[in-house]
Structure 1
Amino acid sequence: MSADVVHLGRAGAVVTITLDSPANRNALSRLLRTQLGARLADALADPATRVILLTHTGPVFCAGADLTEAGTPDEPGTPDLPALLTTLWHSPVPVVARLAGTARGGGVGLAAACDLVVAADTVTFAFPEVRLGVVPAVISAPLRRRVAPHALHALFLTGEPFDAARAREIGLLDAAAPPDLLDSEVRRLADMVLRGAPGALATTKALLRDPPVGGLAAELAELGRVSHEHFTSAEGREGVRARAEGRDPAWVQELPG
């Protein structure tokens, strides 16, 4: 039986998914990809899940592709990196990435597909693909949507490592904190997300990830429809009523402990 290299834990409404394969620096092996896909599916299938926290054990968040498996085909049903990035990108539940250690290549792409990325200020990043004679193709999709284009261009072409301060400057990170304050910063952001209504968060994510197309008039018409739908929804009515009554809305009051 294969060892578990990805674990799932729950604390109230927050589900933590932990990459736990430090022996190979949490590289994206077939086993890790399979278990990560399964843990994400489990978390998203549970209606009690309000935030997903993606984290790791060991000194490396994720080293990217498992080069020991390069050139050999996956078993049928093994999720590839595009499938994992798609799941994270389109998850209706906000996903927070917590990086206490290094990220390289596909590991940076994994973090970039999350909604919020928080790292220790000692963490470094790099895209070593061109130095290996390969291309950062798949991970370019979420990274192009997150990172300043000129910076990504230079980092992809040079493979030069960069630190957390630079990562925050170019848009890869939402926050960086000293290692001993990393967990409190992650918790602060997760707590703020938990104050949002689940349906409103899911729709907001969808609008940001896949905005309407067809020109400005068509986009505004669709966005007007979405806005009206949520103002008149049960969540919208409850949120407005709670604000007027000076109390937390039901989705905050009903959070599991």
Structure 2
Amino acid sequence: MTTTAIHVRGLEKSYKDLHVLRGVDFEVASGTIFALLGSNGAGKTTIVKILSTLLKADAGSAAVEGFDVVGEARQVRESISLTGQFAAVDEILTGKENLVLVARLRHARNPGHVAEDLLAQFDLVDAGSRRVATYSGGMRRRLDIAMSLIGDPKVIFLDEPTTGLDPEARLEVWKIVKKLANQGTTVLLTTQYLDEAEQLADRIAILHSGRIIANGTLAELKGLLPPAKIEYVEKQPSLEDIFLALVGNKASVGDRASAGSRESVEDMS
């Protein structure tokens, strides 16, 4: 039986005369990836802040794991973890020291063991003894997400987790997000990247001008468009195909182009 991890009804929020949220409704099933897709300023981060008890809505209601975000804020915080747009890591400390610090704050029984397990899980063992100031953007983001897993939260909020990352680092983060969902963690992901939502999400909600204007699976959203006229042309590799092929990424979608395949393109006219 499918359970609901996040329940949002009629959420509204204004900053003086600026109406950011104008009655937002959606639900997120447990153990799924839900993408909140929208341009800058659409209100994605505001929703995340309300759901993580960092901000109070002007109207409406929201619950996480059955707990009201206002009346039961403590229980909500015990159930969630939040990774913001910028990695919240201490650059002076090493990777392992960052993990140990959070593990102690979360009252983990064996902080050192927890840190070592996460370093291995996120392929950071070799970098664990180095100061985070020496890490690349992708490594910092992996460490940031690893820190958010301490305490086994049931729900994780990822607010634009791949902003500023190179294509290879983005793919690494995508693999981590998929693995979290496969392990039963509920993930609410905000993004402005169409391909990110397409690759990761079980359901996608499009937020525009403070309202959800569409909400469904990728197939359901594609069904909103009229039938397309199909023409066949030879596919040219994209810049991402070229980049991943040159850096030796075996999972590159450029492999399809190198096989000389022909793919269909849609002409909406």
TM-score (norm 1): 0.28
Ranked by relative contact order (alpha carbons within 8 Å, sequence separation 6 or more), the top structure is 2
More helix by share: 1
Which is higher, the Rg of structure 1 or of structure 2? 2
More strand by share: 2
TM-score (norm 2): 0.27
